[in-house]
């Protein structure tokens, strides 16, 4: 059992003894419910989710480039020297490492997605904390818990839920300084969008350059492999022609020897006939 749970139980036990005469006034808020009902958080979350989808597409694109390079290497391996194979494998390893690092930078424990979610939640959490302090003092609550935090609430009456009250107070506070807060939020979101757009532009440009370089390198290596294949075919054809020429020459020599033998035999057969006639 973690320390927060122990602390909550200890607080309840102490409060039960201390305030047994007058009763304990306890409330709780549901931070997740509050966040879902804050328009600025919903809008920013939608934008962040769209950005996360774009990051996923970029990662998939990087992965597809690496997989295609692996397939190309397997197809051309028989035509490549050991040195070229090692060079291609090293290039694939570099791209694969870059892909994994990019994935960690975006979706890791300290990645952009986690950090930007914290940036979105923090201002609202601060506002909720401020309103809870006011409500706690005005309504004379003894304890107010966060239902979505690590403290385990085994049972809670709905009448103790002051989440809607917190939302109303947040809306009232925002209404008083609506124009200023709205402008600040707009400026913050605009700045966030501008920074992300610039970062996306740099990433997209770097990714495009990387893909162009990879395609160029792949084309050059494919051309080199094709040239080597053509050279091997030419040498094979030359060897085949040389073999056919030697074979033809041997057959002609063999035929010439056979004809010479036939001529010799014919002459030998004709000599006795001439002797008899004489």
For residue range 122-170, what is the model confidence (pLDDT) as tens digits? 888 788 888 888 888 887 788 787 777 665 554 556 677 777 877 887 7
Query: Each residue's pLDDT tens digit in the chain (278 positions)?
Result: 455 544 454 445 444 444 444 567 778 788 888 888 888 788 888 888 999 999 999 999 999 999 999 998 898 888 888 888 888 899 999 999 999 999 999 999 888 988 888 888 888 878 888 888 888 888 778 878 777 766 555 455 667 777 787 788 777 776 655 556 556 666 777 776 777 677 667 667 777 777 777 778 777 877 877 787 778 778 778 877 887 888 888 888 888 888 888 888 777 777 765 555 55
CA distances from 116 to 62, 109, 137, 199 (A): 23, 12, 33, 14
CA dihedral sign, ordered 141, 4, 149, 126: positive
Distance CA 228, CA 220 (A): 12
The pLDDT tens digits of the residues spanning 239-252 come to 778 878 888 888 88
Report yes or no: 107 and 55 within 8 Å, Cβ to Cβ.
yes
Note the residue count of the chain: 278
What is this structure's pTM?
0.48
């Amino acid at each position: 059992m973690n320390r927060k749970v122990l602390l909550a139980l200890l607080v309840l036990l102490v409060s039960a003894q201390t305030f047994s005469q007058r009763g304990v006034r306890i409330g709780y808020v549901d931070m997740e419910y509050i966040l879902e009902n804050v328009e600025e958080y919903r809008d920013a979350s939608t934008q962040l989710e769209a950005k996360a989808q774009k990051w996923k597409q970029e990662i998939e694109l990087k992965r597809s480039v690496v997989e295609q390079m692996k397939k190309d290497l397997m197809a051309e391996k028989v035509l490549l020297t050991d040195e070229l194979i090692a060079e291609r494998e090293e290039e694939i390893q570099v791209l694969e490492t870059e892909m994994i690092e990019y994935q960690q930078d975006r979706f890791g424990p300290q990645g952009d997605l986690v950090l930007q979610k914290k940036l979105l939640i923090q201002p609202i959490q601060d506002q909720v904390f401020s309103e809870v302090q006011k409500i706690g003092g005005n309504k004379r609550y003894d304890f107010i818990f966060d239902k979505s935090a690590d403290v385990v609430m085994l049972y809670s009456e709905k009448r103790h839920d002051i989440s809607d009250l917190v939302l109303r107070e947040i809306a009232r506070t925002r209404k008083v300084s609506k124009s200023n807060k709205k402008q600040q939020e707009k400026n913050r979101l605009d700045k966030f969008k501008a920074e992300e757009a610039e970062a996306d532009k740099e990433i997209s440009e770097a990714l495009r350059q990387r893909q162009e370089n990879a395609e160029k390198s792949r084309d050059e290596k494919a051309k080199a492999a094709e040239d080597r294949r053509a050279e091997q075919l030419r040498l094979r054809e030359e060897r085949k022609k040389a073999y056919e020429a030697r074979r033809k020459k041997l057959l002609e020599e063999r035929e010439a020897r056979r004809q010479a033998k036939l001529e010799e035999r014919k002459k030998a057969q004709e000599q006795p006939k001439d002797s008899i006639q004489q």
